[in-house]
């Protein structure tokens, strides 16, 4: 059974810092990996998708990478801002008949203070 | 484009009562998902529909939970009877098909069982 661990569970940083969130899977056979953002009382918003043939994705100040050999992913946030405060979740699927069946980590709660 | 609509936003019931949640996905999205998110945890997939057929319900507690997607559009998730451990946010998500990996999540229904 696939399990996903996110480290740290919570992170509080001053505005402007660069930070790294980590995600690891017990089964490294990850086909696609996504990072989501969840704001209080809201649904999930997809930030970055790393598909099977890819190893890295970038969007603005966000960069996500996936090391399939180790089953580890990192989300890098550059020059953090208070608006980045949210819970960040990683999720993966195993492809094949598991298309769309995402297994989520428990999330990292990020607080960026001015 | 309208988002995924869910109702109600909040529900408080006593244990052993029944409750139903409703989801209206994005128009044209064939795949619909119900996730359960317990406080402090990542979402867990309960059931996945492709049009009006069930693709995966392996993690749905079928003795008390049921779901349907009549006509391949709206979906209803029911719990009967509810237990204290069912307290969670129930998230609905949709995607064009299971292989597109572009999910849109609703804001969820927060259920409290007392």
Asked whether the predicted pLDDT for residue A30 surpasses 90, the reply is no
Interface probe with B: pick from A33, A45, A50, A102, most Cβ of B within 10 Å: A102
Note whether B106 contacts A105, CB cutoff 8 Å: no
Nearest CA in chain B to A2: B44
Note whether B103 contacts A104, CB cutoff 8 Å: no
DSSP structure string for A67-99: ETTTTEEEEEE-S--GGG-EEEEEEEE--GGGT
- Which residues in chain A are contacts of B10 at CB distance < 8 A? none
Q: What is the pLDDT of residues A38-86, one digit of tens each?
A: 998 888 999 999 988 899 999 999 999 999 888 899 999 999 999 999 9
Indicate the residue of A41, A49, A107 with minimum beta-carbon distance to B42. A107
3-state helix, strand, coil in chain B (%, to 5): 5, 50, 45
Confidence of residue A98 (pLDDT cuts 50, 70, 90): low
- On the 0-12 / 13-18 / 19+ scale of CB atoms within 10 A, B26 is middle
Nearest Cα to Cα of residue B21 among B53, B67, B62, B61: B67
User: Cα distance from A78 to chain B (closest Cα, Å)?
Assistant: 24
B63 touches A at CB < 8 Å: no
Joined together, the tokens standing for residue B50 give 């492709």
Asked whether the predicted pLDDT for residue B5 surpasses 90, the reply is yes
Q: What is the pLDDT of residues B86-107, one digit of tens each?
A: 999 999 999 987 677 788 999 9
């Amino acid at each position: 059974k696939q399990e996903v661990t996110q480290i740290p569970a919570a992170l509080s940083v001053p505005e402007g810092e660069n930070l790294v969130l980590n995600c690891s899977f017990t089964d490294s056979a990850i086909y696609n990996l996504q990072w989501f953002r969840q704001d209080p009382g809201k649904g999930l918003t997809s930030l970055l998708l790393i598909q099977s043939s890819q190893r890295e994705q970038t969007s603005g100040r966000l960069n996500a990478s996936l090391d399939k050999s180790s089953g580890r992913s990192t989300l890098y946030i550059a020059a953090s801002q208070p608006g980045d405060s949210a819970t960040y979740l990683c999720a993966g699927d195993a492809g094949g008949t598991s298309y769309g069946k995402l297994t989520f980590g428990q999330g990292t709660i990020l607080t960026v203070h001015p | 484009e309208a988002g995924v609509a869910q109702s109600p936003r909040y529900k408080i019931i006593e244990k052993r009562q029944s409750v139903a949640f409703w989801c209206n996905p994005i128009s044209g999205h064939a795949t619909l998902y119900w996730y359960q998110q317990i406080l402090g945890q990542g979402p867990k997939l309960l059931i996945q529909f492709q049009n009006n057929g069930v693709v995966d319900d392996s993690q749905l507690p079928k003795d008390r939970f049921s779901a349907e997607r009549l006509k391949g559009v709206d979906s209803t998730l029911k719990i009967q009877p509810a237990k204290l451990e069912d307290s969670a946010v129930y998230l609905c998500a949709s995607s064009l098909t299971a292989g597109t990996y572009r999910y849109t999540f609703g804001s969820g229904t927060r259920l409290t069982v007392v």
